Amino acid sequence: MDRAQKEKMVDELGQIFDSSGVVVVAHYEGLTVADMQDLRARMREVGGSVRVAKNKLAKIALDGKPCESIGEYLTGMTVMTYSEDPVAAAKVSQGFAKDNAKYVILGGAMGDNALDVAGVAAVAKMPSREELIASIVGCIGAPASNIAGAIGAPASNIAGILSTIEDKEAA
């Protein structure tokens, strides 16, 4: 890798660290190519990505970034999973770590907050952006649906009473 490629890699990593909602760092020593492809596929499904980079270049890219604290995790064979959604990469990493003992989460960063292993697990338990939006929409729509039901209830009660009276008169 020549100097120009290294500079390009540092720039790309810097953009990743700036734009990601969460970055999770893990050791992946001993994983097969199929395992890594599975991890990449899982991350693609949630809109995230997986990146393997030289630790030295990643540390250079971290310099001056809010998540600079994850530099301490960049030793050995490390892989970074990241996503714009602050929960997606943590959820996928946590799930993948449960399925693969060779994938060991070291920590990560959420904005300028450093996360240890327990922090990544806590973030993984949080609802995702889509789940939060769905619950907010449900909360907003529930009162309107209750009002519509309350307005329509007297009319359906009257219709029920009239049909009962008709049945009695017909009998």
Please tell me the distance from the alpha carbon of residue 128 to that of residue 5, in angstroms, as a whole number. 35
Alpha carbon separation from 77 to 82, 88, 117 (Å, rounded): 17, 22, 17
Q: What is the DSSP string of 72-131?
A: GG--SSEEEEEESSTTHHHHHHHHHHHH-TT-EEEEEEETTEEE-HHHHHHHHHSPPHHH
Q: Is the pLDDT of residue 150 over 70?
A: no
Query: How much is the pLDDT for 111?
Result: 79
The 8-class DSSP code of residue 54 comes to -
**In angstroms, rounded to a whole number, what is the distance separating the alpha carbons of residues 108 and 115?**
5
Average confidence (pLDDT) over 146-163: 65
CA 152/CA 145 separation, integer angstroms: 11
Determine phi and psi for 27, rounding to 5 degrees. -85, 145
For 104-132, write each residue's pLDDT tens digit. 999 988 877 888 888 888 888 887 777 77
Is pLDDT of 43 > 90? yes
Domain ranges in the chain? 3-126, 127-171
Burial label, 163 (beta-carbon count in 10 A; 0-12, 13-18, 19+): exposed
Q: Which residues contact 152 (CB under 8 A, 6 or more apart)?
A: none
pLDDT, residue 65, reads 82
Homologous superfamily of 3-126:
Ribosomal protein L10, N-terminal RNA-binding domain (3.30.70.1730)
User: Model confidence over 50-109: pLDDT tens digits?
Assistant: 999 898 998 898 888 877 888 888 888 999 999 888 888 899 999 999 989 999 999 988
